[in-house]
Amino acid sequence: MEYYAAFWNVENLFDVSNSPRRSDKLKRVLKNELSGWTEAILEKKLDQLASIIKKMNTNLGPDLLGVCEVENVYVLELLADKISQAGRSYKIAHDDSKDNRGIDVAFIYDSNKLTAHEIFSHYIQKRTATRDLFQVNFKTNSGKFLVAIGNHWPARLGGQYESEPYRMMAGETLAYFHERIRQIYGKDVAVLAMGDFNDEPFNRSLTEYARAEQTRTKVTRAHSAKFLNLMWPLMGEGLGSYFGQNDPKMLDQILVSKGLLTGNSGLKVVDNSVEVIRFKEMIKKGTYPVPLRFGRGRKMNKKGFSDHYPVAVVIKE
């Protein structure tokens, strides 16, 4: 059995501008930011995202999809319905975070292949609210155990280095819970950490604080909790999941635990299966392969998708 796991920052997947599902506090924060975000526009945004998600995994769609920048369970349900196809029974794992702009991390998963039986939201200590680390403990039909942790670390607003300590906090939080998970479920537990880290694999928040290594043996031989960052080889090919000033940046990453590398967990990452998903319709025309974003307001492009590319990996049982 194989499991296709992907993650996508879907770029501001908000509920409609006048949504009764939005709190008064969030209305004050967003103000006029969602002006013109109508039912028709939301429908178009969902159609665009779904057209890509359904093409993943050679048109079978993902077995597990992590997403970030989603406002609430309502838009997640709409997206899950859009990507539904024969043989799939998608369900949602979601928790409302205290993020200032109300955007969350969540998972959509095929309940024919996976069961979500425990959900945790891990708070990141920060002066202003940010997205939690979102952990879901899944079981396969044969009883194999997979811990998935969705990440959307603090942005680089105000400057990369000025904001870096916040991502270091997030990295330290991820490393702490990785160690706790090992203490509870054993050193060979399968842990899959995916998300938009807003830093690259070589930044300190990943290497020193999240303890995400470039070399497989540093993970498999370690006595403490470490991840292998699967994105290093793709960076060597000049790929990125996001572009800043036409420069590719690998902000979206997949990290795997020792148990997923050795297969001692009963699950194992398929070698060389990690990818940055870039279907031709997602790429902006021009010199640089920049993601074609959907955007909002005057910068809206109804033929666009997101300002990030998805990333994916295959796990076998």
Render each residue's pLDDT in the chain as its tens digit; 317 residues.
999 999 999 999 999 998 899 988 888 888 888 899 999 999 999 999 999 999 999 999 999 999 999 999 999 999 999 999 999 999 999 988 778 788 899 999 999 999 998 999 888 877 666 788 999 999 999 999 999 999 999 998 888 988 899 999 999 999 999 999 999 999 999 999 999 999 999 999 999 999 999 999 999 999 999 999 999 999 999 999 999 988 999 999 999 999 999 999 999 999 999 999 999 999 999 999 999 999 998 889 999 999 999 999 999 99
DSSP annotation of 125 reads P
Cβ atoms of 48 and 300 within 8 Å: the answer is no
Cβ atoms of 3 and 114 within 8 Å: the answer is yes
CA 195 to chain centre: 3
The model carries a pTM of: 0.96
Cα–Cα distance for residue pair 35/289, rounded to 1 Å: 29
C-alpha dihedral sign at 140, 143, 144, 145 = positive
Domain span at residue 291 reads 2-316
Cα–Cα distance for residue pair 232/249, rounded to 1 Å: 12
Which CATH number is 103's domain given? Answer: 3.60.10.10
Alpha-carbon distances of 197 from 100, 140, 193, 261, 277, rounded to whole Å: 18, 27, 10, 21, 17
- The number of distinct structural domains making up the chain is 1
Cα–Cα distance for residue pair 43/285, rounded to 1 Å: 24
Q: Is 81 exposed, middle or buried (0-12, 13-18, 19+ CB in 10 A)?
A: exposed
List the beta bridge partners of residue 59: none
Cα–Cα distance for residue pair 68/151, rounded to 1 Å: 8
> H helices of 39-185, where?
39-53, 56-59, 73-82, 160-185
Cα–Cα distance for residue pair 63/24, rounded to 1 Å: 36
Place of tokens 């979500």: 116
DSSP annotation of 302 reads T
- Here the tokens at position 190 are 């399968």
